Amino acid sequence: MSFHCLQHAHAIRHELGGVVGAVLALCGNLAERGHRITLLTGDTQDVPEAWLRGEAGCPHVVPIQLPQRSLLGLPRSAMDVIRPLFESADILHLHQLWKTGNHSIARMATSQNLPYVVSSHGMLDEWAFSQRPLTKRLFMKLSGRKFLSNAAAIHCTAEGERRQVERAVPGGRFFVAPHYFDWSLFKELPGPELARQQFPVLDTNKPKVLCLSRLHPVKGADVLLRAIAQVLAQGVEVSLYLAGPDEGGYRAVLERLVQSLGIEPHVHFLGMVRGKEKVSLYEACDLFAMPTMQENFGIVLVEAMGAGSPVITTSQVDIWPELEAAGGQIVDRTPEAFAKAIREMLTRPDELQPLGTRARQAMLSWLDPQSVSDQYEGMYRECIGQHL
């Protein structure tokens, strides 16, 4: 039996990180499976054109006005747009936890007996909570804890995340399911040439290490730069490619570090990369490394492995057990540990392709779209059933 699911994400812009892609993939898949999906958002920048045109079989997109200040709830004009949708909706799914617009919508849903699901997306992990902790503790005390406790389900993408969220919301109703992942660009890999044409700096015989993420301190690009400097000092030739949007001017910080380490010829900033070019970029490099300080699901790690790239990362990724089982290297978040792992992998080039093949097969199996979709449908139906 089909249902009508409202999905709310504050903004649909890929530069904000992997959550946006996960929301789009989930909405698109549920619509393909015959469900009525309505996406509420205040920023439609990267919403697919077919959705905006209202094509048959696509999610229905409803633009809403955002609050003028981050700590304010949604304006009345937005609530007036949303309220009529509740009459036909069966379930509400809220993303981007700290956005107060979620709380406005949740309160209205509660008043109309509409069950809602909240995806924490790593926002209640220990590291995330340590950022601006006083503000977040106050936020939780004033409205956040009630907002989460009233949810029909708190969705976590891994058991590691659930354990952390449970400390912040004891007694909450939890549901664990991985992100729905859209494999359409990965089913038939495009090959490395597409990326080489777009980025001529890839045209080198040196081993290539890739880190693709937004340029932000949490992702650990500074650790990776120091690791590369150590690898080079140990006589192993290597080129590092940093791809992703700059956040808060952090690229300039990294560029100064590159200069101070004296490794300018070996480091290349590629900027934002999307679509087939991104998949091709994974293929064009020998391995993927990200010394992240905190990662909920680590979508880029899944993408890299899905493209057949061996991965090195840290146990600060909530899905690190799944990555390790697929052949990913889980190491300490230090330049020395990453330098050792990179050097050992690059000095055994014959092992890289089999390792990448194993990783790809494992990801495609674990995140099989049919299986993951069934899990989400089960979560929604259970929540709907509890409110009948």
Mind listing the pLDDT tens digit for each residue in 249-263? Answer: 999 999 999 999 999
Q: pLDDT tens digit string along 313-345?
A: 999 999 999 999 999 999 999 999 999 999 999
**Which amino acid is located at 144 in the chain?**
G
Structural domain spans, the chain: 4-180+368-386, 193-366
Least confident stretch, 50-59, 65-74, 135-144, 185-194 = 65-74
Token pair of 217, please? 């301190």
* Local structure of 155: helix, strand or coil: strand
Cα angle vertex 300, ends 295, 303, to 5°?
140
The pLDDT score that the predictor gives to residue 72 is: 63
Confidence class for position 388, pLDDT limits 50, 70, 90: low
The pLDDT score that the predictor gives to residue 68 is: 67
Q: Are the C-beta atoms of 5 and 36 separated by less than 8 Å?
A: yes
Residue 129 has pLDDT above 90, yes or no: no
On average, the pLDDT of the chain sits at: 93
DSSP state of 188: S
In whole angstroms, what is the distance from residue 277 CA to residue 336 CA? 31
The pLDDT score that the predictor gives to residue 123 is: 82
Residue 96 has pLDDT above 60, yes or no: yes
Q: How far is CA 254 from CA 36, 149, 312, in A?
A: 45, 41, 20
Q: Which fold has domain 4-180+368-386?
A: Rossmann fold (3.40.50)
Q: Are the C-beta atoms of 117 and 158 separated by less than 8 Å?
A: no
Residue 264 has pLDDT above 70, yes or no: yes
Task: Work out the burial of residue 145: count CB atoms within 10 Å of its CB; fewer than 13 is exposed, 13-18 middle, 19 or more buried.
Answer: middle
In whole angstroms, what is the distance from residue 230 CA to residue 217 CA? 20
What pTM value is reported for the model?
A: 0.87
The pLDDT score that the predictor gives to residue 142 is: 76
Q: Which CATH superfamily is domain 193-366 in?
A: Glycogen Phosphorylase B; (3.40.50.2000)
Least confident stretch, 140-144, 199-203, 217-221, 228-232 = 140-144
| Residue 353: closest CA among 307, 313, 322, 319 | 307
The pLDDT score that the predictor gives to residue 361 is: 97
Confidence class for position 119, pLDDT limits 50, 70, 90: very high
Q: pLDDT tens digit string along 34-75?
A: 999 999 999 999 999 999 999 999 999 999 988 766 556 788
Confidence class for position 387, pLDDT limits 50, 70, 90: confident
